[in-house]
Amino acid sequence: MAKKGKNYLESIKLYDKHNLYDAKEALELVQKTGKAKFDETVELSVRLGVDPRQADQQVRGTVVLPHGTGKTIRVLVLAKGPKVEEALNAGADYAGGEEYVEKIQKENWFEFDVVIATPDMMGVVGKIGRVLGPKGLMPNPKSGTVTFEVEKAVQDTKAGKIEYRVDKQAIINVPIGKVSFGTEKLQDNFQAVTQAIIKAKPASAKGRYLKSVTVASTMGPGIKINGQKLIEN
């Protein structure tokens, strides 16, 4: 078994791992247990009462965090003609056509965090689907990254739009900010994500929907939240 670090061992003394906390209290504890020398990311993990193998129980969507993620998002837009200039004017870090597809293919270039593509570019983008897909970078209409509304897509992404998607274990993991944000901003971001997930509940999902809700800083322990209260509120 891996040996736990001194900071981690000190952190677990600050909370009761068996207790289900209110969201505000849990986020306050996350800041106290985030003892690393860098500004740790706060992660939200939600285990859902769905069967991801069923097509009608996929839980997926996007939400713009009110206070962003605390990370500078590098955006690549794959487009043609005037849409390239539109993307750059909107704040995209890179914008162009096949030259960027070739750069990714030949140079293994990945100096970006999000790829947005116009629908007329998807035939070309398909050439690099095998390398973008495993990295979670493949543009998709459901996440708003395949669109002709380039300006809005870039601005939303830069403002802190994140995608949430249930995995094979029925778990959603997303960042909701940095420890330095403070309780109020973290709570605003937390509420935006959890309410979006609750609204996205599939009609075919039976029983308890939010099976577990946990928040943790990058190097800190997971702190459990009372998911039932989130639904009641």
Give the model confidence (pLDDT) of 147-162 as tens digits. Answer: 999 999 999 999 999 9
Average pLDDT of span 4-8: 60
**CATH numbers and ranges of domains, the chain:** 6-69+161-225 (3.30.190.20), 75-158 (3.40.50.790)
Average pLDDT, whole number, for the chain? 91
Cα–Cα distances (Å) from 219 to 5, 6, 18, 47, 170, in that order, read: 10, 11, 19, 20, 23
Read off the pLDDT of residues 66-94 as tens digits, 9 standing for 90 and up. 999 999 999 999 999 999 999 999 999 99
Residue 191 structure tokens: 């509420």
Between CA 154 and CA 174 the distance in angstroms is 20
Residue 15 predicted with pLDDT over 90: no
Task: State the pTM of this model.
Answer: 0.83
Q: How far is CA 111 from CA 7, 84, 137, 229, in A?
A: 33, 18, 12, 41
Instruction: Tell the burial category of 11 from Cβ atoms under 10 Å away from its Cβ (0-12, 13-18, 19+).
Output: buried
Distance CA 102, CA 97 (A): 9
Determine the Cα–Cα distance for residues 110 and 144; give it in Å rounded to an integer.
Answer: 20
